[in-house]
Amino acid sequence: MDVTVAVHKEGLLADVDAGRKPVTIPGLGRALRAEEMVINMGPQHPSTHGVLRLELIVDGEIVVDVIPHIGYLHRCFEKHCEHMSNYQQVVPYVDRLDYVAAMSNEFGYAIAVEKLLKIQVPERVEHIRVIMAEFSRIVSHLIAIGTYGLDMGAFTPFLYCMRDREHILDIIEETCGARLLYNYMWVGGLSHDVKPNFQEKTRAFCKYFRPKIAELNELLSYNKIFIERTAGVGILPPEVAINYGASGPVLRGSGVKWDLRKNDPYSIYNRFAFEIPVGKGIKGEVGDCWDRYMVRVHEMEQSVNIIEQAVEQLPAGDVQSAIPKRIRPEAGEVYVRTETPKGELGFYVVSDGTQSPYRVKVRPPCFVNLSAVPAICRGSMIADVVAILGSIDIVLGEIDR
């Protein structure tokens, strides 16, 4: 695929043009130039992971340009926040940003407002929050991996991932009553304490889940056809990734060892021992789709490690003792970023001294990762666009807010 390599090496760092002008592919020449077709991977499509419209300008099977159109799921979250009468009322809205891994969003928001209020939550709350956030990470990665297999045509791993996800959702449902959108992590504490059988069930899950990752690797990750579809496809060089602001598995898949839980620690993550998986280009080149995919698989294993350690150390306490009766922070602002399964989620909360927020701005990781997709996709084939989009793992709720 000389065309792809040529475009990638020449075009990526030098391209300023993210607008509508298509990029000419060197090597095709005037004599061979056929007319380009504009084809819509429309808002409704089985593989765009939500309502995303990708306008593909193609030359046969080769993609000349990709123009993403977003905004189909815009629900005016930030405007709503400014009219809330209470900082706690924002939490259910925050859930619905990345609706696949809702606990991670709540975590970030809770920490941000607690930093603004300068309050400290009890140890028990910290431990449970970490456990729930890591459960969220496993859940999100299971969906990412399952749907990625589905995009590639492997129907079975998706159902195995859903089966494993049910175990986690059972534990969370026992704790807070909801399976997908929780309203659990309130500012200053949690809405419910965990049930007495929580530790036992969590340990049983960890024991159950480790062999399942091995099974998944055997079925999907090291399958020759899957590797051929994903290795060497959609290469994102590390400097480009940093410049585009990519984060999470997208950044780590390109070889950059950067994880907010270790590099900019928040909550009690600095007490746990875990590793940061990084893409090494084993099957193709560093930064290809297979690397990003394998980073997610390895991250699930590391999350199980963290959960086991946290559940051993779970102290006693009251999870609601630090929840303030009235949240009225002083005028000021704070920016807090946390490592969600999709990447770096940032909350910029500005308070003007009243009970409702002045401004809540969300910096969604998928929004920023998606902006890198046109640069990655130029020169690949249509089937590769599906592979690349799946490996970036977007959730439109977060992108559009």
Partner 1 sequence: MKDFLLNLLQNEILVYSMMAIVPLVWVIPFALFAVWWERKISAHMQDRLGPMRTGWHGATQTIADILKLIMKEDIIPAAADSKLFKLAPYVVFGGAYAAYAVVPFSAAYVGSEINVGLFYFISISSVVVVGLLMAGWASNNKWSLYGALRSAAQIVSYEIPVALAILAVVMVVGTFDLQGINQAQSGMFWHWFVFQKFPFLFFALIIYFTASLAEVNRTPFDIPEAESELVGGYHTEYGGMRFALLFLSEYSNMFAVSAIATTLFLGGWNSPFGNFLSGPWWGVFWFLSKGMAFIFVQMWLRWTLPRLRVDQLMYVGWKVLIPFSFVLILGVGVWMLAVQ
Partner 2 sequence: MIPQEIYDTLKGTFGEAILESKLDGVPDPWITIAPERVKDIARFLRDDERMQFDALMLLTGMDYTKGRLGVVYHLHSMKWNHKIVLKTVVAAEQPHVQSVEAIWKTANWHEREAFDMYGVLFDGHPDLRRILMPDDWEGFPLRKDYQVPEFYNGMKVPY
Least CB distance from residue 53 to partner 1, whole Å?
A: 14
- Whichever of 224 and 326 has its CB closer to partner 1, that residue is 224
Residue 355, φ and ψ in degrees, nearest 5: -80, -15
In the DSSP assignment, the letter for residue 89 is G
Residue 379: alpha-carbon gap to chain centroid:
26
Helix (H) or strand (E) holding 205: helix 198-216
Least CB distance from residue 241 to partner 2, whole Å?
A: 10
Q: Using CA atoms, how far apart are residues 117 and 181, in angstroms rounded to an integer? A: 25
Least CB distance from residue 308 to partner 2, whole Å?
A: 29
Cα angle vertex 79, ends 74, 82, to 5°?
A: 155
Going from the C-alpha of 358 to that of each of 57, 183, 389, the distances in angstroms are 42, 22, 35
Q: Choose the contact partner of 223 out of partner 1, partner 2, none; CB within 5 to 8 A by kind.
A: partner 1
Stretch that binds partner 2, among 18-26, 124-132, 192-200, 272-280 (CB under 8 A): 18-26
Stretch that binds partner 2, among 13-21, 141-149, 192-200, 282-290 (CB under 8 A): 13-21
Q: Using CA atoms, how far apart are residues 290 and 279, in angstroms rounded to an integer? A: 9
- Whichever of 230 and 340 has its CB closer to partner 1, that residue is 230
Q: Choose the contact partner of 348 out of partner 1, partner 2, none; CB within 5 to 8 A by kind.
A: partner 2
* C-alpha dihedral (242, 246, 247, 253), degrees to nearest 10: -80
Task: Say how many residues make up the chain.
Answer: 401
* 19 touches partner 2 by CB under 8 A: yes
Please give the residues from 46 up to 75 whose contact with partner 2 meets the rule CB under 8 A. Answer: 70-71, 74
User: At a CB cut-off of 8 Å and minimum separation 6, what does 255 contact?
Assistant: 238, 278, 279, 280, 281, 286, 287, 291
Query: Considering only residues 84, 206, 227, 242, which one is a binding residue for partner 2 as defined by CB under 8 A?
Result: 242
Please give the residues from 98 up to 117 whose contact with partner 2 meets the rule CB under 8 A. Answer: 115-116
- Whichever of 63 and 133 has its CB closer to partner 1, that residue is 63
Stretch that binds partner 2, among 49-57, 58-66, 311-319, 328-336 (CB under 8 A): 328-336
- Whichever of 47 and 199 has its CB closer to partner 1, that residue is 47
Q: Using CA atoms, how far apart are residues 25 and 14, in angstroms rounded to an integer? A: 15
Q: Using CA atoms, how far apart are residues 388 and 293, in angstroms rounded to an integer? A: 10
* 331 touches partner 2 by CB under 8 A: no
Binding site for partner 1 (CB under 8 A): 37, 39-40, 45-47, 61, 149-156, 159-160, 163, 219-220, 223, 225-226, 228-229, 381-384, 386
Quote the tokens at residue 348: 């910029």
Q: Choose the contact partner of 151 out of partner 2, partner 1, none; CB within 5 to 8 A by kind.
A: partner 1
Please give the residues from 335 up to 394 whose contact with partner 2 meets the rule CB under 8 A. Answer: 335, 337, 344, 346, 348, 350, 359, 361, 363, 367-368, 370-372, 375
Least CB distance from residue 303 to partner 2, whole Å?
A: 24
* 167 touches partner 2 by CB under 8 A: no
Going from the C-alpha of 122 to that of each of 166, 188, 270, 319, the distances in angstroms are 29, 9, 16, 7
Least CB distance from residue 371 to partner 2, whole Å?
A: 4
- Between 255 and 284, how does the x/- string for binding to partner 2 read (CB under 8 A)? -x-x----xx--------------------
Check the CA dihedral 353-354-359-363 and report its sign.
positive
Q: Choose the contact partner of 400 out of partner 1, partner 2, none; CB within 5 to 8 A by kind.
A: partner 2
Residue 64, φ and ψ in degrees, nearest 5: -90, -40
Cα angle vertex 239, ends 233, 275, to 5°?
A: 80
- Whichever of 43 and 210 has its CB closer to partner 2, that residue is 43
CB atoms within 10 A of CB 16: 5
Q: Which of 281, 311, 309 is nearest to 293 (CA)?
A: 281
Give the footprint of partner 2 on this chain (CB under 8 A): 16-20, 70-71, 74, 76, 78-79, 115-116, 240, 242-245, 256, 258, 263-264, 332-335, 337, 344, 346, 348, 350, 359, 361, 363, 367-368, 370-372, 375, 400-401
